Amino acid sequence: MKALSEAELTSEAVLAEDTDQIVNRTAHFVGEWIEEHVIEKATTFSAGDDTVEELAKECIADAKQEGIAAEDIQDEIGNLKEYIAEAIDQ
């Protein structure tokens, strides 16, 4: 068996990461969206129903623009409002 060069290993790692992002596109989108819109925001959120509801609507709207259906989000992570509330509480 031939040993792979560093460039070949790097290429393999990039392909594996790209494949993971394609396969888990919805999960990656939601994770990045939560990171950008909830975790990194300087504003402190409370996990109140109105805040969570607005964030969930915004996430679904942004996902739709990326070609990701609300049903795909539901299938991948479950209840988006609960998911967002948990991220706020952390």
pLDDT at site 6: 60
Query: Is residue 39 included in any domain, yes or no?
Result: yes
Residue of 19, 88, 24 lying closest to 54 (CA atoms)? 88
Q: Is the pLDDT of residue 42 over 70?
A: no
> Does residue 8 fall inside a structural domain?
no
Predicted confidence (pLDDT) at residue 39 exceeds the cutoff of 60: yes
3-state secondary structure of 46: coil
Q: Residue 49 is part of which domain span?
A: 26-89
pTM of the complete model beyond 0.85: no
**Are 26 and 33 in contact, with CB atoms under 8 Å apart?**
no
Per-residue pLDDT tens over the stretch 43-66 = 566 656 788 899 999 999 999 999
85 burial class (0-12, 13-18, 19+ CB within 10 angstroms)?
Answer: buried
Give how many domains the chain has, as a whole number. 1
Q: What is the pLDDT of residues 10-30, one digit of tens each?
A: 555 544 455 444 458 899 999
Indicate whether 17 belongs to any domain: no
